[in-house]
Structure 1
Amino acid sequence: MKKTLLAVVTSSLFAASANAAVVYDKDGQQLEVTGRIEYDAGQMGFKDSTPTEVNNFGGDGSARLGVNGKWATGYNDVALIGKADWQLNAEHDSAFSSSDANTDTINSRNVYAGADFGNGIQATVGQQDSAYIELKDVTDTFNYFDGINEDQFSSSGRWADSYKVTYAADGWDLRTSIGFSDANKDPDATATYYKNEYSAAAGYTFTIDDVQSLKAVLAYQAATQHTATDDNLTDAQYALGLGYTYDAFYLASTYGQRKHDAADYKDDIWTATASYKVLPEVTVYTNYEIVDPHNAAGKVVETSASGADGDFYVFGTEYAFTPKAKAYAEYKLNQTTGYDDQYVVGLQYNF
């Protein structure tokens, strides 16, 4: 086998695998194991009986385990790739809600396969992040409370039955994906579901000097939606994000709009974040997010700006014991009238 092919295959599996442990690396085949153990405690969720009142102090633990694989094909720089990871939710997944059905269950996160063509291009199929996650990553940089509103389609940003193509080279990060909902295989005539989803994102990083850089991201996603009374309605979201790095300082913002054809209303979504690494081990940060509804006269009154995630600030700090282990504390200041503030302290270990 050519040395250049071996170098491509064994140099790095994925950019996101910084915490992975390589357990096998031979003859162009590489296998990595990834994982995370996390425990959070505080007043994070709201009561079932009184949704505006925060729960008493409590804890919530979770663990992740996954594998990444890459296999050289012997054809130029093409390699087959795959990823699978799962999360075990100990206690309650949704912050102590007694109605949560995910207690002590294992849920799949990413399960996909594809090919790396060795020139910055990858093509994958399965359950995986949508292209829109590139926009969300601009401001979703912390631990618990931020990153809630940037993606209005999915809190996780992962789509099942999705096909994605990416190109990442020379400062560019281009992604496109399409997903087909499982619900469309045996739809309930009265249900509301996405028949398919599609998204695209384009990002470019400008390197200003040794300590300064600016990344710009433009993203769009849309879905064909079925409701009990209509079919093939469009639900769409677009946004622009900017992230500026100056040495230990990071400042970023995203702004966009979501348009709901089914209910005939619009939301403006704006997020902003800033962080500063005070010491190599200590980072302080703040975050602001708002979902601002705009309705024409006589249209449906939109309510997504209400609740704990309609308008809020986050203040936090983290301490890195090692590059893979950290402790953090965050306080969420809810600006929606009547909603209690929340806080969390947590420990996280990645491998």
Structure 2
Amino acid sequence: MKKTILALTIPALFATSASAVTVYSDQGAQVDVYGRIQYDIGELKGANNEDIGGDGKARLGVNVKYNVNNDVDLIGKFESEVAAESSQNGKFNSRYAWAGFRFMGTTDLTFGKSENPFVQLSDVTDIFNLWGASAYSHNWRVDDQIRVSYADQGFDLRAAYAFADDNRTSDTVGAKNQYSLSAGYAFATGPGELGLVAAYEARNSNEVNSDEEEWGLGANFSIDGFYFGATYGETDFDAGSDERFWEVAASYNVDAWTLGAAYNNRKETQGAKDKLVDEYLLAVQYALNSKAKLYGEYVINDLSNSNDRYGVGIQYNF
């Protein structure tokens, strides 16, 4: 993802991004490698019969770039994750696999499995290591997707179209095609910085009356170690079971410590008007250095059929 003013305004304050290392650079070609090793322990699922358990995973990614001329680069990305649990049998999960072009250093056109533009909205409140951003219904990464993005002068514009593909049912059950748009702008406001985001998505389904549309708005503000973010949106289903979601998140960073809190809510706006998500999140993180950290999180779940969750973990990025 291209780092812009907006990307710096709404960082994953708890989920530190990996820092890539250049392993090859010659005559306009560059290959960067990055990864993550993480282990978490606690009551991670909140099931009624769950004991304290652990969850380990490792992630490895590669970014490639080849300079064609002064205005065009060929770019590509592959990232895979493997779970350490015996029940997973070392199964690899492809997170990203795309190739494309970068024009003028500001505009990317890519093809393959890439990030959903709607993520630009959820990034406003998705700032933790274990949980958070539970009120959204979009898919974080979508395959068979054509994606274009523009980032410059505080603007961050993204659009994507995903083709119908039977092999994509693992990401979106019964999916035919999908359209996604998002737009963000960040600007300085005195000593702080303000960011605004809007996003829209339409998903078509093979199932009758299962097409849906989702839209949302978000804003964030950062100043002197404080970060505040909030989002609001609605999901409209052809079947009529429409839903509303909203989230707020805040954090404060001082030296190696970061404290955070959030509230996530999603409920039906028609029929029984049941609450689907209703939870509070408390978090703490300690940075051992720029690439390693310890963290703990606790989720207070107000739904009658779900228990609280808690966990601690260690993560190393390279």
Q: With the length of structure 1 as denominator, give the TM-score of the two structures.
A: 0.82
**Secondary structure at the counterpart of residue 121 of structure 2:** helix
CA distance in 1, matches of 2:135, 2:256: 28
Distance 1:265 1:332, change over 3 A: same
204, 217, 223: which one pairs with 1:224?
Answer: 204
Q: Is the contact between residue 184 and residue 195 of structure 1 (CA under 8 Å) also seen in structure 2?
A: no
Distance 1:143 1:234, change over 3 A: same
Deviations 1:182-223 (A, max 9, x none): 22899xxxx9612100100010001123x4100000000011
Alignment correspondent of 2:188: 207
Aligned residue pairs: how many?
A: 304
The structure number with the bigger radius of gyration is 1
CA distance in 2, matches of 1:70, 1:197: 28
Q: Which gives a bigger RCO, structure 1 or 2 (Cα 8 Å, sep 6+)?
A: 2
Distance 1:159 1:105, change over 3 A: same
155, 159, 172: which one pairs with 2:155?
Answer: 172
Q: Is the contact between residue 38 and residue 313 of structure 2 (CA under 8 Å) also seen in structure 1?
A: yes
1:104 aligned to 2:90? yes
| Letter matched to residue 81 of structure 1 | I
Aligned pairs (5 A) from 1:95-134: 102-134=88-120
Alignment correspondent of 1:60: 55
Q: Is the contact between residue 288 and residue 312 of structure 1 (CA under 8 Å) also seen in structure 2?
A: yes
CA distance in 2, matches of 1:313, 1:54: 22
Distance 1:221 1:146, change over 3 A: same
Distance 1:328 1:18, change over 3 A: closer
Distance 1:242 1:58, change over 3 A: same
Query: Percentage identity across aligned positions?
Result: 36
104, 123, 132: which one pairs with 1:137?
Answer: 123
Distance 1:26 1:275, change over 3 A: same
1:314 aligned to 2:308? no
Distance 1:44 1:200, change over 3 A: same
CA distance in 2, matches of 1:185, 1:254: 28
Q: Is the contact between residue 2 and residue 151 of structure 2 (CA under 8 Å) also seen in structure 1?
A: no
Alignment correspondent of 1:255: 232
| Letter matched to residue 127 of structure 1 | K
| Letter matched to residue 109 of structure 2 | A
235, 255, 260: which one pairs with 1:285?
Answer: 260
1:264 aligned to 2:247? no
CA distance in 2, matches of 1:106, 1:160: 16
| Letter matched to residue 29 of structure 1 | A
1:240 aligned to 2:253? no
| Letter matched to residue 259 of structure 2 | V
187, 196, 200: which one pairs with 2:177?
Answer: 196
CA distance in 2, matches of 1:196, 1:65: 29
Alignment correspondent of 1:31: 31
| Cα offset, 1:18, TM superposition | 5.8
Where structure 2 has 5 or more consecutive residues not aligned to the other structure, the ranges are 8-16
| Cα offset, 1:153, TM superposition | 2.5
1:340 aligned to 2:307? yes
CA distance in 2, matches of 1:222, 1:102: 33
CA distance in 1, matches of 2:248, 2:49: 25
Q: With the length of structure 2 as denominator, give the TM-score of the two structures.
A: 0.90
Distance 1:64 1:18, change over 3 A: closer
146, 164, 167: which one pairs with 2:132?
Answer: 146
**Secondary structure at the counterpart of residue 135 of structure 1:** helix
67, 72, 75: which one pairs with 1:78?
Answer: 72
Q: CA RMSD in A?
A: 2.1
Where structure 1 has 5 or more consecutive residues not aligned to the other structure, the ranges are 1-12, 48-52, 93-100
| Letter matched to residue 56 of structure 2 | G
Distance 1:116 1:329, change over 3 A: same
Deviations 1:106-134 (A, max 9, x none): 11000000011124111001001011111
Alignment correspondent of 1:5: none
Q: Which has the higher strand share?
A: 2
Distance 1:18 1:336, change over 3 A: closer
| Cα offset, 1:142, TM superposition | 1.2
